[in-house]
Structure 1
Amino acid sequence: MPAPVKARLAEHPDPALRYAAAASAADEPPGLLARLAEDPDPLVRSFLTMNENLPAELVARLARDPDPNVRKWLPQHCRNVPQAVRRAVFTDADPNVRRAAVAFWPPPTDLLPALLADPSTRAVAARHSLPTPELARDPDPGVRRTVAAHPELPRCCATCWPRTRTSWSATRSPAARTPRRNCGRNSRQPSHPRIRPRPSSPATATAPAPHRPRPTPLTENQAHALLARAGL
């Protein structure tokens, strides 16, 4: 697309055209992306975070954007972000921005304790920390779900929690701790009751047919005698 056309799209009154230009346009003519970073519509600036042609200075400007929704979009779409800019987003005053940063960027080691202590980021920051009994007993169910899905949980249970079996079982739901009952069923019954044969009642049971002996074959003289007696 020619540079003059891009410049016109960046100043077009239709915001949808400015969204498209902010998300994909290169910085031609020079200064085009800087003008989009100053657009009064925060959605235009949010779409600008998706642009792969953003220079480092515009990434830093978007990290200081007055609208927290713009700052929240930055971790989701920008990967090559200077470390100083990332630290600013991890320590942002808005909890939603901090949560987005922890969800899409690995936090610095020195900031991880503060992110784990922050109720708004603890459930997400627990992904980047080894499971601990304190996190497993956290009152936030999101934190406990993160600990339960952590790939290092089995190893930590075996090596770091030798005496916390009772504490760990206390974090499970009451339904999970309730033992299954037999409910009076016979344990010898088949697992699928539909294929179990039903016994016949005495009233409907069919008596076996009586045994009938086979007749003895007649000799030729006996056969002639019978025919004569019958007048044949």
Structure 2
Amino acid sequence: MSEVQFPPLFQGEALTGQADPFERALALAITGTDPGTVIYNLGGERLRAALIFAPEVPLEEAMAILPVCGLGFQAALGTLAPPEVAVHLEWDGRIRVNGAVCGRMRVKASTQDPEATPDWLILGLELSMTSRKSNPGKDPDRTWLSEEGCGEITPDQLLECWVRHSLYWLNRWLDDGPRPVHSDWRGLVPTLGETVEVDGTSGTFVGVDENFGMLLRTGEDTTLIPLSSRLEG
């Protein structure tokens, strides 16, 4: 495997074995590592990576990094995969490929106060590339890329492409605000307009606010569930 190449302002650190990029990124962020560091582990059956950011906006606004990097992933896989492969993004960070869950993104920050500006924010990606399971149809709601006609895609290709496309969408968000992100992201969310259950409350997912908080309608009442509620503790 050749060395993974990242865009300017990004630098990588490769891990091996069972080492968890998310935990490594957390340790580096706490000690003040520069933003733009990409920690990754491409061994085994999963692609695992984490990006370190230093937001300049309050946490609730900074949570837009979740849909931003989701759009980056959709664009990356769209570039590398056969045209019939469909990618959808769940509001909470789960990634669906051809309708089944194939991975997830997760976020942790230096603060859980939605009005405070975090010193650092970590966006993690975990994606199932292949599996040793002999019965791929046993759980129809879970899949991996090799099962969906993407067996030729290598983890380093996908990682490079994801970071590059995420940077594009990050710049669009910084330059143009949330509107263009909203516009493209909404079309990729399969549960929009559907009945969903979040934190024990069931209702219709009718849309999101400017910071991608879920608007959940139950009867005549509409509740806002902030995207920061998906933050890991």
Is TM (by shorter chain) over 0.5?
A: no
- The TM tier, using the shorter chain, reads under 0.3
Per the normalisation by structure 2, the TM-score is 0.26
Per the normalisation by structure 1, the TM-score is 0.26
Which of structures 1 and 2 has the bigger CA Rg? 1
* Higher RCO, Cα 8 Å, sep 6+: 2
